[in-house]
């Protein structure tokens, strides 16, 4: 093309192509294949799709590289072919377009969560995006199209990555819901200016919704970023399941009618996403070419700005809960772990919690009992314990089984029902299940969820939108002093504290030296540590934990003691003695101890914790705050 892409876009509305995946699927490519690998194995098929869109009137064609990043290709065993696939994709499109159309390098999201919601760092994401962009640039693309992103942080990383390898124009598009917010909840009034700040040349929305809802979003985007070059690439309506296939039922004429409306709203780049075919593009091109160049509608409303959210004051830590107040004042706390009941009968857990409260324990840790068995949720169990038994709880909430939207809903509901103390954990993959087809979600990990809770405490959701009054969550996280990969565990612990963790729960602890070392290594993070002590149930369990459980360190001396106790018939007594010794040894290092296991028997927990009273060097009453803080400063 003789004219540059951006100059042409400023002069008139340009037509982009439609869905690549839809056309490849229609040509018989199974969904379990990596469509991008066809650049190396079935180049003629990809060329055929490009040519069909060019004949329909497309002035820009996108490379068949939407998912050609290292992470997505790895699931197909193609991680080492990133450069080759992207290079081939660009050259195939260049060959098809020749000098009659611009070639856009298509880049989609990584398929994993990036910080602050996931464990993939922004620097790591930039490296992955830069690798893909380098192959596309070498192949001769005229511009880059970032499409179907849901996370503003991730698309920002992609823009920075492209800028590190190329100065070609960038079209940056997020996918939105019908309310005009990204799928993570960021409003268009917020992400529009952010895309400009990141350095995008053209900004817009694509995928997810049909043209009607997208038009509303585009009109808001034009107001939020007056004078910006805008792009709109909707799906051909919402998919409908017909005999197991997703069919998009918007007609070409209907899409064309909205193309005219997009142009009237100031959009300069119009194309299609899922379900869009060459027939749709042909009608879109006819409709747009019949119009005179559109004047961006945003210019008429340049002085309109969204109202700033009201300022809120976070709740002080000491005012969040009795537990947070005790830890803040340096008072040593004790508690017991209880597991949600199977079924819906809650009498037993209520009675156990009531007994714990009456006997002076500060808190009940309600563990996440989700897994293979049908149990009451930890959230419902914790609410029941607090409302019926009158005991304060720590709700262990597991990321594994919930999407980000579901987790936000659960936490807000938990707060409304009076829960304040959270223990946020990622959760392990299901290993033993009575339901072999059960799946896990793992949308975000505990670091991401800690960021969510911290934002709630500042009065905003993950999209930065106000939620009204801030929550008062006392945010706790887990850490394992005997993790298989200690450096990674230390790093994750630090990230959790940076994200907003206010206390940490460690354990079960059997190796006191390992706990002491972990606390020394994390001395810079001053959040209180609560240790979990779990009594052995059998000698075989002690042996199994020592040899089969990843991340659990049981000293050989304890295994031998349990084996000898089994030989003489004193297993229960020895298990109790070991647990009592552990709480005494751990006490000077931490801010509190929770006893786990023992079937929730409060008497056993009290017996174990009773060792603290009998230890002459330990104070269990309210010691002066300064003295206790010196004991727990390493946390």
- Least confident interval from 133-137, 174-178, 471-475: 174-178
C-alpha span between 195 and 486 (Å, rounded):
38
Q: What pLDDT digit, counting tens, does each position of 374-429 carry?
A: 789 999 999 999 999 999 999 999 988 788 888 999 999 999 999 999 999 988 75
Angle at 567 between CA 546 and CA 584, to 5 degrees: 55
Question: Same domain for 450 and 377?
Answer: yes
Annotated binding site: 207, 273-274
Q: Which residues fall within 8 angstroms of residue 536, CB to CB, at 6 or more apart?
A: 542, 545, 558, 562, 571, 575, 578, 579
C-alpha span between 586 and 515 (Å, rounded):
8
Q: What pLDDT digit, counting tens, does each position of 511-525 carry?
A: 999 999 999 999 877
Question: Same domain for 422 and 452?
Answer: yes
pTM for the structure as a whole: 0.75
Question: Same domain for 382 and 270?
Answer: no
Mean pLDDT of 460-468: 87
C-alpha span between 625 and 519 (Å, rounded):
20
Query: Are the C-beta atoms of residues 238 and 209 closer than 8 Å to each other?
Result: yes
**Residue 479, beta-bridge partner list:** 506
Kindly tell me if the per-residue pLDDT of 67 is higher than 90. Answer: yes
Q: From 301, 332, 365, give the residue that closes a domain.
A: 301
Determine, yes or no, domain membership for 553: no
Task: Identify the pLDDT of residue 308.
Answer: 54
Task: Identify the pLDDT of residue 309.
Answer: 54
C-alpha span between 212 and 232 (Å, rounded):
11
Q: Tell me the two tokens of residue 184.
A: 């993570």
Query: Are the C-beta atoms of residues 207 and 179 closer than 8 Å to each other?
Result: no
Query: Are the C-beta atoms of residues 534 and 597 closer than 8 Å to each other?
Result: yes
Positive or negative, the Cα torsion across 190, 195, 196, 197? Answer: positive
Total number of domains in the chain: 2
- Least confident interval from 248-252, 346-350, 379-383, 480-484: 248-252
Q: From 301, 325, 341, give the residue that closes a domain.
A: 301
Element (H, E) at 57: none
Determine, yes or no, domain membership for 403: yes
Question: Same domain for 338 and 250?
Answer: no
Q: Tell me the two tokens of residue 452.
A: 């969510």
Task: Name the residue with tokens 């007609």.
Answer: 251
CA distances from 77 to 37, 70, 74, 154 (A): 11, 10, 5, 24
pLDDT band (50, 70, 90) for residue 289: confident
Q: What pLDDT digit, counting tens, does each position of 101-133 carry?
A: 999 999 999 999 898 888 888 999 999 999 999
Question: Same domain for 500 and 624?
Answer: yes
Pairwise pLDDT comparison (631 vs 127), residue with the higher score: 127
CATH number at residue 503: 3.20.20.220
C-alpha span between 171 and 169 (Å, rounded):
7
Mean pLDDT of 562-589: 93
Determine, yes or no, domain membership for 227: yes
Element (H, E) at 400: none
CATH number at residue 280: 3.20.20.330
Question: Same domain for 296 and 322?
Answer: no
Mean pLDDT of 225-234: 95
Element (H, E) at 248: strand 245-248
Task: Report the chain's mean pLDDT, rounded to a whole number.
Answer: 87
Task: Identify the pLDDT of residue 312.
Answer: 76
Task: Identify the pLDDT of residue 2.
Answer: 62
Pairwise pLDDT comparison (435 vs 611), residue with the higher score: 611
Q: What pLDDT digit, counting tens, does each position of 357-385 carry?
A: 999 999 999 998 655 567 899 999 999 99
Q: At what angle do helices 252-264 and 211-224 cross, to 10 degrees?
A: 10
CA distances from 3 to 6, 100, 142, 268, 366 (A): 8, 11, 11, 16, 65
Element (H, E) at 495: helix 486-499
Residue-wise DSSP of 390-428 = ---EEEEEEGGG--HHHHHHHHHHHHHTT--EEEEE--P
Question: Same domain for 155 and 248?
Answer: yes
Q: Which domain holds residue 445?
A: 317-428+438-536+579-632
Angle at 535 between CA 532 and CA 540, to 5 degrees: 130
**Residue 204, beta-bridge partner list:** 173, 231
Q: From 301, 328, 343, give the residue that closes a domain.
A: 301
Query: Are the C-beta atoms of residues 423 and 477 closer than 8 Å to each other?
Result: yes
pLDDT band (50, 70, 90) for residue 271: very high
Task: Identify the pLDDT of residue 251.
Answer: 83
Task: Identify the pLDDT of residue 101.
Answer: 96
Query: Are the C-beta atoms of residues 399 and 445 closer than 8 Å to each other?
Result: yes
C-alpha span between 355 and 601 (Å, rounded):
10
Determine, yes or no, domain membership for 163: yes
Task: Name the residue with tokens 């585009």.
Answer: 218
The answer for 403, left when phi > 0, alpha when psi is -120 to 50, beta otherwise, is beta
Mean pLDDT of 539-550: 91
- Least confident interval from 287-296, 358-367, 620-629: 620-629
Q: Which residues fall within 8 angstroms of residue 179, CB to CB, at 6 or more apart?
A: none
Determine, yes or no, domain membership for 356: yes
Cα maximum dimension of the chain: 95
pLDDT band (50, 70, 90) for residue 629: very low
C-alpha span between 248 and 19 (Å, rounded):
11
Annotated binding site for Zn(2+): 207, 273-274
Task: Identify the pLDDT of residue 345.
Answer: 86
- Least confident interval from 83-92, 104-113, 190-199, 521-530: 521-530
Question: Same domain for 197 and 329?
Answer: no
Q: Closest by alpha carbon to 130, among 109, 151, 159, 152? A: 159
Strand ranges in 551-596 using DSSP code E only, listed in sequence order: 592-596
Kindly tell me if the per-residue pLDDT of 470 is higher than 50. Answer: yes
Determine, yes or no, domain membership for 259: yes
Query: Are the C-beta atoms of residues 349 and 386 closer than 8 Å to each other?
Result: no
Pairwise pLDDT comparison (138 vs 622), residue with the higher score: 138
Q: Tell me the two tokens of residue 275.
A: 């379900």
Q: Exposed e or buried b for every residue in 371-410, given b needs 16+ CB within 10 A?
A: beeebbbbbbbbbbbbeebebbbbbbbbbbbbebeebbeb
Q: What percent of the chain has pLDDT over 90?
A: 69
Kindly tell me if the per-residue pLDDT of 599 is higher than 80. Answer: no
- In 3-state terms, what secondary structure has residue 513? helix
Kindly tell me if the per-residue pLDDT of 163 is higher than 90. Answer: yes
Task: Identify the pLDDT of residue 238.
Answer: 63
Kindly tell me if the per-residue pLDDT of 86 is higher than 50. Answer: yes
Kindly tell me if the per-residue pLDDT of 430 is higher than 60. Answer: no
Question: Same domain for 331 and 240?
Answer: no
Question: Same domain for 281 and 329?
Answer: no
At 606, give phi and psi (nearest 5°). Answer: -65, -35
Question: Same domain for 74 and 220?
Answer: yes
Kindly tell me if the per-residue pLDDT of 347 is higher than 70. Answer: yes
The length of the chain, given as a count of residues = 635
DSSP state of 350: H
Determine, yes or no, domain membership for 309: no
Task: Identify the pLDDT of residue 373.
Answer: 66
Question: Same domain for 276 and 327?
Answer: no
Positive or negative, the Cα torsion across 619, 620, 625, 629? Answer: positive
Determine, yes or no, domain membership for 267: yes
């Amino acid at each position: 093309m003789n004219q540059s892409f951006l100059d042409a876009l400023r002069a008139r509305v340009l037509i982009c192509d439609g869905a690549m995946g839809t056309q490849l699927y229609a040509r018989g490519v199974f969904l379990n294949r990596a469509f991008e690998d066809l650049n190396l194995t079935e180049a003629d098929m990809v060329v055929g799709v490009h040519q069909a869109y060019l004949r329909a009137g497309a002035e820009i064609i996108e490379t068949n590289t939407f998912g050609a990043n290292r992470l997505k290709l790895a699931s197909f065993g193609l991680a080492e072919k990133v450069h080759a696939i992207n290079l081939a994709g660009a050259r195939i499109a260049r060959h098809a377009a020749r000098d009659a159309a611009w070639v856009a390098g298509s880049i989609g999201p990584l398929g994993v969560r990036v910080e602050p919601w996931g464990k993939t760092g922004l620097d790591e994401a930039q490296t992955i995006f830069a690798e893909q962009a380098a192959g596309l640039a070498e192949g001769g693309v005229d511009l880059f199209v970032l499409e179907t992103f849901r996370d503003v942080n991730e698309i920002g990383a992609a823009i920075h990555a492209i800028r590190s390898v190329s100065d070609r124009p960038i079209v940056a598009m997020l996918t939105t819901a019908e309310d005009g917010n990204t799928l993570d909840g960021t409003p268009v009034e917020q992400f529009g200016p952010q895309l400009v700040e990141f350095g995008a040349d053209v900004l817009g929305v694509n995928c997810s919704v049909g043209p009607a809802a997208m038009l509303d979003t585009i009109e808001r985007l034009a107001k939020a970023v007056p004078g910006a070059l805008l792009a709109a690439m909707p799906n051909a309506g919402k998919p409908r399941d017909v005999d197991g296939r997703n069919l998009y039922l918007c007609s070409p004429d209907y899409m064309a009618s909205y193309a005219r409306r997009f142009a009237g709203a100031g959009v300069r780049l119009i194309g299609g996403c899922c379900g869009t075919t060459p027939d749709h593009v042909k009608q879109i091109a006819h409709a747009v070419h019949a119009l005179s160049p559109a004047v961006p509608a945003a210019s008429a409303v340049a002085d309109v700005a969204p109202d700033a959210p009201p300022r809120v004051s976070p709740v002080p830590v000491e005012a969040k809960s009795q537990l947070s107040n005790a830890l803040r004042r340096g008072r040593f706390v004790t508690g017991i772990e209880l597991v949600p009941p199977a079924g819906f009968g809650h009498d037993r857990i209520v009675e156990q919690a009531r007994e714990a409260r009456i006997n002076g324990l500060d808190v009940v840790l309600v563990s996440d009992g989700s897994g293979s068995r049908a149990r009451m949720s930890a959230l419902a169990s914790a609410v029941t314990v607090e409302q019926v038994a009158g005991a304060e709880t720590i709700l262990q909430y597991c990321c594994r089984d919930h999407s980000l939207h579901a987790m936000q809903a659960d936490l807000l509901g938990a707060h409304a029902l009076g829960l304040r103390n959270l223990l946020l954990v990622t959760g392990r993959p299901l290993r033993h299940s009575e339901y072999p087809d059960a799946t896990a979600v793992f949308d975000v990990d505990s670091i991401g969820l800690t960021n969510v809770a911290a934002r709630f405490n500042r009065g905003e959701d993950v999209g930065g939108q106000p939620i009204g009054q801030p929550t008062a969550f006392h945010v706790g996280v887990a850490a394992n002093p005997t993790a298989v990969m200690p450096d990674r565990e230390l790093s994750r612990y630090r990230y959790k504290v940076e994200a907003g963790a206010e206390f940490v729960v460690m354990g079960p602890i059997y190796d006191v030296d390992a706990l002491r070392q972990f606390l020394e290594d994390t001395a810079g993070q001053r959040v209180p540590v609560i240790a979990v002590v779990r009594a052995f149930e059998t000698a075989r369990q002690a042996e199994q934990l020592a040899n089969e459980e990843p991340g659990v360190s049981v000293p050989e001396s304890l295994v031998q003691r349990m084996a000898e106790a089994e030989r003489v018939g004193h297993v229960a007594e020895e298990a109790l003695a070991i647990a009592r010794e552990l709480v005494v040894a751990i006490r000077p290092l931490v801010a509190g101890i929770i006893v786990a296991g023992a079937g929730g028997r409060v008497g056993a927990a009290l017996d174990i914790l009773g060792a603290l009273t009998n230890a002459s060097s330990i104070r269990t009453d309210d010691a002066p705050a300064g003295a206790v803080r010196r004991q727990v400063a390493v946390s």
